[in-house]
Amino acid sequence: MATTYNEELIARGISAIKSGNTAEALNCFEEAVKIHSTPANWSYLAFCLARERRQFDYAIRLCREAITRDPHSSIHYLNLGKVYLLAGRKDDAIRTFRQGLLYEGSPAIIGELKRLGLRKQPVIGFLRRENPLNKYLGIALKKLRLC
């Protein structure tokens, strides 16, 4: 009985996150963690805490603990990356998203990276991106599909 209720809480919480209602999701995951404490529950709870209560440090600790206990699940990396974005730490978020992709291909992580508008490294690394040499070499290589 408790397992079914816990699964229902988790499903409602994930659905609430997807619909943008993190306040409801926070309630669901707080209750779910009390019933059954799992890395996935901690990870989702951490994202909700960061979004609703702005508790970034605590949320980051929860996500890192989830990753320590279950390092091959990309959902933990997705949630940690989102927490970093909410905290204004874009570089850490990008690094975390990329690390998550090493373990599992996640359309959600790929979507977050695309939303952030990541660019490839400049062709000539020691020159600035705006340098005409980098700019036109990049355009040429893209047209030739070499880059």
User: What domains are there in the chain, each with its CATH number?
Assistant: 2-116 (1.25.40.10), 120-147 (no CATH)
Amino acid code (one letter) for 140: A
Look over the chain and give the mean of its residue pLDDT values, rounded to a whole number: 90
* The pLDDT of residue 24 is above 60: yes
Helices (H), the chain: 2-18, 22-35, 39-53, 56-69, 74-86, 90-103, 107-116, 132-143
**Mean pLDDT across the stretch 92-121?**
88
Structure confidence at residue 2 (pLDDT): 57
Structure confidence at residue 1 (pLDDT): 47
Amino acid code (one letter) for 107: P
**Mean pLDDT across the stretch 102-119?**
87
CA distance 65 to 43: 9
Output the pTM of the full model.
Answer: 0.78
pLDDT level of residue 145 (50, 70, 90 thresholds):
confident
**Mean pLDDT across the stretch 108-137?**
87
Q: Which two tokens stand for residue 45?
A: 């709870």
